[in-house]
Structure 1
Amino acid sequence: MEGTHVTAAPVKTFVPNIRPDCTDELTAALGRRIMVIDGAMGTAIQRDRPDEAGYRGERFKDWPSDLVGNNDLLTLTQPHIIEGIHREYLEAGADILETNTFNANAVSLADYGMEEFAYELNYAGAALARQAADEFSTPEKPRYVAGALGPTTRTASI
């Protein structure tokens, strides 16, 4: 729509060392047992079949281009869908969740004119996955989060 512009949320300042580096802990756990990573986020999203309005949510209801297929955007517009998928994988026994950020980069987001939202999408995607992992973590079985970075919808060498 002409004259309508949605801006990215204010950038949260990155605070290093909020969590300790768990590389050694994860490496030790991998030496003791098989660890299970979650499954395909995109496939799980398509199972729910969100429509154009679902992808847009209230915040992007007037966005000038189609948003269907921008699965990473659901982290902002339909976080309950993404959180539900994370929970399903954790309930099935996943030890490691991938963030819903496969295409949350400027190259892929350019398809929707949403490059300015890359940081916000990555931050929110990590926060959602971490929240779900924390809810399922125990001292005996901690749950981990891995950032997902896909090959994008275009070759990364562009």
Structure 2
Amino acid sequence: MTDMFPPLSDRARVAALREALATRVVVADGAMGTMLQEQDPTLEDFQDLEGCNEVLNVTRPDIVRSVHEAYFSVGVDCVETNTFGANSSALGEYEIADRIVELSEAGARVAREVADEFAAKTGQQRWVLGSMGPGTKLPTLGHITYDILRDGFQQNAEGLIAGGADALIVETTQDLLQTKAGLLGARRAMEALGVGLPLICSLAFETTGTMLLGSEIGAALTALEPLGIDLIGLNCSTGPAEMSEHLRHLAQHSTTPLMCMPNAGLPVLTKDGAYFPLTAPELADAQENFVNSYGLSLVGGCCGTTPEHLRQVVERVRGLTPAVREPRPEPGAASLYQAVPFRQDTAYMAIGERTNANG
């Protein structure tokens, strides 16, 4: 096939992504795992590692490719790689932690090939976001040591970069120490390979209003923004309705651009398994509102979202410019749970002492 448009160099492509994120709304894809499972891969496809989707990058790249093609066909700007579990804790449970780089690079390469094909055919630049999922262990609770986690994320990122990712997204994190391990592992990989890609941080907040270990949104922002991330936001766990207040806080206080990839609502358990009730028009409504209210630069979907969901999101936000924000960052310190602003209280204070022994 003769390309209608020659591909950009790696550096030019990354620069174009940065420019797009700074000037318009960039749309990513939706769910990956459910679409892979719909194609009913065999145990042989999984190399007897049932449920290890990352193995499909080398055994059934055609299945992975078909998911990327489905999303690019509805007009999204970028897709995430099939590498959500390509880290030390997740692959360690399958006893294949030595394959982190291999599976990460393979996943990025499949996505890169599809992105370049669509860019050549349509003239619309397409990008690849290297997915770095949280893994299965929480370092704050002592499930795994920080250095093992960080080094595994570095291997994940190195494979993604070698395979052609345009940005790295540390996503669905539930523990701030886990999040830092992912971000710093990604930074180490970029330094080791001499590249500079956009680094995205996407947090998972529960219906309780906090991350899994109890961290509030203010604590997360205070702890993570100094790490030099390019975007911060939320994905997974809930639908857009439950994310609104967290995004409001970020819009008011974050100097870092914002992103959001919600589930298709909260899952409803049925006899046939989990069902996500949010319709495509409802997701498009929510994302349009988030762009106009909170100035999101990157939108997409997570669990339960389909190419049809993203088709309608693309139609709704195409041509929109993110709302201009005037954030008011508040200096402070954060524990694992909450942020405490640095404020000097000049109010009058009276100290009294009771001498009544029965008092």
- Which residue does 2:32 correspond to in 1? 41
Task: Kindly indicate whether residue 33 of structure 2 is the aligned counterpart of residue 50 of structure 1.
Answer: no
- Which residue does 2:16 correspond to in 1? 25
- Which residue does 2:133 correspond to in 1? 150
Matches within 5 A, 1:124-143: 124-138=106-120, 140-143=123-126
- Which residue does 2:81 correspond to in 1? 99
Greater displacement, 102-111 / 147-156: 147-156
Q: CA offsets per residue over residues 68-89 of structure 1, 9 Å max, x none? A: 1100110011110001111111
- Structure 1 residues without counterparts, runs of 5 or longer: 1-17, 57-65
Residue 104 (structure 1) shift: 0.7
Contact preservation (8 Å) 2:87, 2:133: no
CA distance in 2, matches of 1:140, 1:132: 14
CA distance in 1, matches of 2:138, 2:42: 27
CA distance in 2, matches of 1:105, 1:46: 21
1:53–1:140 distance in 2 versus 1, CA, 3 Å: closer
CA distance in 2, matches of 1:121, 1:54: 14
Residue 136 (structure 1) shift: 0.4
Task: Kindly indicate whether residue 94 of structure 2 is the aligned counterpart of residue 112 of structure 1.
Answer: yes
Give secondary structure in 2 for the equivalent of 1:97. Answer: strand
1:82–1:156 distance in 2 versus 1, CA, 3 Å: farther
CA distance in 2, matches of 1:77, 1:95: 27
Give the residue type in structure 2 aligned to 1:124. Answer: A
Give the residue type in structure 1 aligned to 2:127. Answer: Y
Task: Kindly indicate whether residue 90 of structure 2 is the aligned counterpart of residue 90 of structure 1.
Answer: no
Give secondary structure in 1 for the equivalent of 2:79. Answer: strand
- Which residue does 1:15 correspond to in 2? none
Give secondary structure in 1 for the equivalent of 2:46. Answer: helix
CA distance in 2, matches of 1:22, 1:91: 20
Contact preservation (8 Å) 2:88, 2:135: no
**Cα root mean square deviation, aligned:** 1.9
Q: CA offsets per residue over residues 69-116 of structure 1, 9 Å max, x none? A: 100110011110001111111001111111111011122111111111
CA distance in 2, matches of 1:119, 1:88: 26
CA distance in 1, matches of 2:42, 2:139: 28
- The alignment of Structure 1 onto Structure 2 pairs a total of residues equal to 132
Contact preservation (8 Å) 2:115, 2:127: yes
CA distance in 1, matches of 2:46, 2:53: 8
Instruction: Flag as ranges the 4+ runs of structure 1 deviating above 2 A.
Output: 21-24, 30-34, 153-157
Q: Hey, which of these two has a bigger chunk of strand by percent?
A: 2
Q: CA offsets per residue over residues 43-80 of structure 1, 9 Å max, x none? A: 21121122312212xxxxxxxxx411100110011110
1:31–1:83 distance in 2 versus 1, CA, 3 Å: same
Greater displacement, 135-144 / 22-31: 22-31
1:122–1:156 distance in 2 versus 1, CA, 3 Å: farther
- Structure 2 residues without counterparts, runs of 5 or longer: 1-8, 145-359
Calculate the TM-score normalised by the size of structure 1: 0.75
